Structure 1
Amino acid sequence: MPFGQMPVLELKCGLQIPQSMAIARYLANKFGYAGKTPEEAALADALIDQFKDFYVEIKPYYYGKLGAIQNDTEAEKTKTLVPARDKFLGIIGKFLKQSSSGFLLSGGLTYADLMIVDNMRTLIGWWPEYLNGFPEIKAWYDKVDSIPEIQKHLASHPDVGF
């Protein structure tokens, strides 16, 4: 393990790629989900960076739901999750309005769509009303979630609760 911790993606050639975001960007580039142009790739990366900032903001709620810390998750939902959600989904909504593809970027599906929807699935599992009041975000979420390969993957992998 290059950094002494997981995750690590080991390639057939023996190269080990550490860190989740480095792995995600590598796979996005390899399989065509980084963005159609260098500019779209930069925007996909920026969306992921903003998404990571969102998760920093909701850490008290998220860690409480995972049981990693003891707190009142309902209070944290009101205090941290709702304002962070409103801010983040506002940003996502702007990208969707500017896009001609129905995905976050006009060039089509990117790893930003996939990662954000996948993580939203956890939040929706904890709070089914998470997307209430955001119909354009819900439509995008459903569009990504209904991709046949996504459905096949979800059907073959049990929900682990996070």
Structure 2
Amino acid sequence: MGYKLYYFDVRYYAEPIRLMLTAAGKDFEEINWTMDEWLAGKKKESPTGKAPWLEVDGRVIPESFAIYRFLANRYGFAGKDEFEKARVDWSADFFRETTFPSWEFFRVKAGRLPGDPDKIYQEKALPALKTAYDQVQKLLEESGSGFIVPSGLTWADLYLAENVRHANAMDDNFAGMFPFAIEYEKRVRSHPSIKDYCETRKNLRTSYCTVPGK
């Protein structure tokens, strides 16, 4: 079975895909580009005008969450039963929707949008991050496994851990406010199924909002 992953030359939305394929022992080809190349015409190749997308034996799956769920169901990262799968789905959906306002802060801080980063952080990003990470902490405490569901690592953990890394790179106060999240991210990348990959993977920046190496 052949996989081709199409994404920017950063980690962010593509990293859970890379991790699941690696954990499953599946080889994949990766096609990357820079932001300049995307804006110069690569975007026109996307099925939805967004990235990533995954090609599976010539069939294309766009949208990151659709790809995550496809691979998770195929390779055992979706949860052990329908109730765990529902918990995995809603936890990731809730997090994405709740943290959406924080992206204005990230982009302004990175110089990609105009605005006052301190004002946007206090009024929009901080309340969103607190709501989202309070829920993540509650989920982890209820689970008892160190991951979102009792049975162990799922695609939601991979997605959330990448967001922890991104927020910590962008927000100097993040680790102090959410120390549990820092430990959670370490626990995810130390999972035996992905530990070797995480220790040797290419040092891509997390997103175009972060500096290289973060």
TM-score (normalizing by structure 1): 0.86
The change in CA–CA distance for 1:59 and 1:42 in structure 2 (over 3 A counts) is same
User: Given the alignment, which residue of 19, 27, 51 partners 2:95?
Assistant: 51
Which residue pairs with 2:146 in the alignment? 102
CA drift at 1:161: 4.6
Which residue pairs with 1:79 in the alignment? 123
Amino acid at match of 2:66: A
The change in CA–CA distance for 1:125 and 1:150 in structure 2 (over 3 A counts) is farther
Which residue pairs with 1:30 in the alignment? 74
The CA deviation string for residues 50-108 of structure 1, in whole angstroms up to 9 with x for no partner, is 11112322132122134331122232222222111111111111111111211111111
Deviates more, 1:77-86 or 1:109-118: 77-86
SS of 1:108's equivalent in the other structure is coil
SS of 1:9's equivalent in the other structure is strand
Deviates more, 1:54-63 or 1:78-87: 54-63
SS of 1:131's equivalent in the other structure is helix
Which residue pairs with 1:62 in the alignment? 106
2:116 and 2:53 map into 1 onto residues whose CA distance is: 34
Is the CA contact 2:53–2:61 (under 8 Å) kept in the aligned structure 1?
Answer: yes
Where in structure 1 do 4 or more consecutive aligned residues deviate above 6 Å? none
**Consecutive unaligned residues in structure 2, runs of 5 or more:** 1-44, 208-214
Looking at secondary structure, tell me which structure has more strand per residue. Answer: 2
Instruction: Give percent identity, aligned residues only.
Output: 29
Is the CA contact 2:99–2:129 (under 8 Å) kept in the aligned structure 1?
Answer: no
1:71 and 1:154 map into 2 onto residues whose CA distance is: 37
TM-score (normalizing by structure 2): 0.67
Matches within 5 A, 1:1-162: 3-5=47-49, 6-12=51-57, 14-147=58-191, 149-150=194-195, 152-153=197-198, 155-162=200-207
For this pair of structures, how many residues does the alignment match? 161
Is the CA contact 1:9–1:16 (under 8 Å) kept in the aligned structure 2?
Answer: yes
The CA deviation string for residues 1-40 of structure 1, in whole angstroms up to 9 with x for no partner, is 683534321112x211111111111111112111111111
**Consecutive unaligned residues in structure 1, runs of 5 or more:** none
The change in CA–CA distance for 1:65 and 1:146 in structure 2 (over 3 A counts) is farther
Looking at secondary structure, tell me which structure has more helix per residue. Answer: 1
